[in-house]
Chain A
């Protein structure tokens, strides 16, 4: 039996590596994808392009502007003069926010009257918009704090002169924050491990599905069937090379993620490979399943895409699973990518070991075995 499997494996390998073009297609794209996407996946909001509409033109408003620019979060790119300018800037997407200081700003501050700063935020991307709003409110609040002290001074001095007993102390509460696992809040650290999972998924599902359907379409499947090779052997022989390619890709892009993007790797490499092997069980199984329902490569391709899109979107890679409606959350338990993305993040960022990851690994194993059994049963039925 092993001899026959070995023959199939050798045949598959020579098919995969026959021409330099297919060889490069197996290994170069994952690396290119990692590099390009690794740089792209970034939700950090800094250097927010802002416009400043100053209707007061006073030292007080200039101070506020200095606070905005000095915060390092905002970059002043436009000084509109009118409402129409503001409209145009926001419409064209040139700025993400416009800060507007109304006339009488400095006068109100001087007289101790409450005043306001208007901040217009482009809400098209609600995510960026919430961060921009939070940053802007923080800056205005800090400014208000310093203004409050200035306003209080003359009154305090007056009371001191009239020999009243006062306390200068004012209670306040300050939030001191501690961020775990990713103290600089670099979103790239969170996304790059997810990119790895998705690249591997796309490569391996496609390889198995197309490798089998291709033989059907060209007609060589018939020839294989008449040889003494049994369906199970054929199946294993088809999947082993794909699994090897998958594992090589995992290793390659995990190393790349650390070298290029300096994503911390706190866990054990052995854990990563073991989990990757479990994940490959599910993705190869899915590829095999697709090959049993598709007649032509066109159909195999459409089915793989139908499979790949939800596994990607519902993996928690970019969109948090706890935000999804409950029925969809249950549905994601069927998604192998969900577990693998979670595992990769925990290994990379938290250095998690078997004691924390075993439920995810068990789920992958169960799912992998289930889909393997189902597809090998279908596969055998079709061949007999």
Chain B
């Protein structure tokens, strides 16, 4: 490996980048726009669940329960209906997500000290929202039932008015449970991965399509120097993208920054190099730019969105798919960036992720160099 020759490739590639300002602006603007738009728009918090209430009982007692639902910030009461069918229609037409039906004999059951039933109807298509909404609805009914019970027991048998065992919940790292705090760091990893891999995925395929690859290979420059020089030229763009994303995340979206900046910078560089090398590897495999782009999108866009643990928890996936996630560098960086920003942890917790990134980066670099050398021969 020769530093001077690597530098020559670096300058050549940097000039290519500067000569196409439109692509350069897109490369810098993409994370800015995407992060601003998505950080602002994406939200998995389940609150203000649109709800219809059917009160078949029309009594003071049923009113008490309804007030509990009205008072909760999780439910948005869209209105009251007079029959069950109206709730069904609302769910069918996607107007509401949940219906609460209080049967006719509700207050009679309670007055005679029996168990009364309330029906919760829910649209289960979005299973996740539905489960969370069900949890809230059941907790609301349970709370009311406790209150009734303790009043009733006082009246009838002078029993304990208290709840005997209470669950005290404490949430760590993201105590307000805002989905933004984990979406934004994940987004940063995903966006950087996509841009980095796509940026380099065309570089060698283009030289091949234009016929300049032959010329390049006939010079004394070694394959490793080509790969490294090209990577370093794009690296500058990548570092700028990373800085933009982190500044936006912390200052615009107020994601807490609890860990060390130095560690984030260091791991960010390793991550970028792995994504760039992956792009170059793709570029050496592809026969044309179209193929390179297809391969690049295939191996970066959807995988980093869906397999990095950004939206879907990796531990829920079947083992075979979990094994594939080890090939997605965004997975490691998403863990690292969440650990550093939200948990404030350091190397002692993140070392495995960092090691995997280094190994991945080295492996991809070696593979890309080998492919290029094969072309030479």
What residues make up the interface of A, taking CB atoms closer than 8 Å to B?
19, 21-22, 25, 29, 33, 36-37, 39-45, 49, 64, 90-93, 109, 112, 114-131, 133-138, 140-141, 143-144, 147-148, 151-152, 155-156, 159, 166-183, 185-187, 189-190, 195, 198-199, 202, 206, 210-211, 214, 217-218, 295-299, 301-306, 308-310, 312-314, 318-320, 322-325, 328, 345, 349-350, 356
Contacts and interface: CB of A to CB of B under 8 A. Distances in A.
Contact of A121 (B27, B144, B171): B171
A298 B113 contact: no
Contacts of B43: 319-320, 323-324
Contact of A297 (B119, B289, B345): B289
Contacts of B172: 90, 120-123
B67 interface: no
Given A124-B173, A175-B120, A301-B293, A116 B305 contact: no
Contacts of A345: 125
B165 A109 contact: yes
Interface string B147-181: 01100110011111011111111111111011101
Nearest to A182: B124
Contacts of A131: 131-132, 135
Given A185-B130, A356-B93, A39 B30 contact: no
B44 A206 contact: no
A134 B115 contact: no
A309 B33 CA distance: 10
A328 B141 contact: no
Contact of A91 (B158, B320, B345): B345
A212 B311 CA distance: 35
Interface string B121-149: 11111111111101111110110110011
16 contacts: A44-B316, A49-B315, A91-B349, A122-B172, A126-B181, A134-B138, A151-B160, A156-B159, A166-B157, A169-B156, A175-B141, A176-B117, A185-B130, A299-B20, A302-B23, A305-B30
B306 A117 contact: no
B298 interface: yes
Contacts of A118: 168, 170
A171 B157 CA distance: 12
B291 interface: yes
Contact of A185 (B131, B298, B302, B321): B131
Interface in B266-318: 287-291, 293-298, 301-303, 305-307, 311-313, 315-318
B12 interface: no
B358 to A, nearest CB: 19
Contacts of A322: 50
A179 B177 contact: no
A36 B134 contact: no
B110 interface: yes
A185 B41 contact: no
Contacts of B290: 210-211, 214, 297
A119 B170 contact: yes
A304 B202 CA distance: 14
B91 interface: yes
Given A39-B320, A130-B46, A324-B43, 8 more contacts: A126-B177, A127-B179, A152-B160, A170-B149, A171-B152, A206-B297, A301-B293, A302-B198
B117 A313 contact: no
B125 A181 contact: yes
B306 A40 contact: yes
Contacts, number: 387
A123 B174 contact: yes
A328 B41 contact: yes
**Residue in A186, A304, A318 whose Cβ sees the most chain B Cβ within 10 Å:** A318
A172 B115 contact: yes
B112 interface: yes
Contact of B169 (A119, A202, A304, A324): A119
B275 to A, nearest CB: 14
Contacts of A217: 209
Given A171-B116, A318-B311, A328-B40, A133 B169 contact: yes
A147 B43 CA distance: 39
Contact of A40 (B109, B287, B307): B307
A42 B316 contact: yes
A122 B249 CA distance: 21
B202 A186 contact: no
B248 to A, nearest CB: 15
B132 A130 contact: yes
Contacts of B289: 210, 214, 297-298, 301
Nearest to A25: B294
B37 interface: yes
Contacts of B34: 309-310, 313
A114 B126 contact: no
Contact of B177 (A40, A129, A198): A129
B142 A141 contact: yes
A17 B43 CA distance: 42
Contacts of A183: 124
Nearest to A166: B157
A313 B44 CA distance: 12
B194 A174 contact: no
Contacts of B153: 152, 170
A274 B301 CA distance: 28
B233 interface: no
Given A92-B349, A172-B115, A320-B129, A147 B165 contact: yes
A137 B167 contact: yes
**Residue in B92, B128, B166, B298 whose Cβ sees the most chain A Cβ within 10 Å:** B128
**Residue in B125, B160, B342 whose Cβ sees the most chain A Cβ within 10 Å:** B125
B42 interface: yes
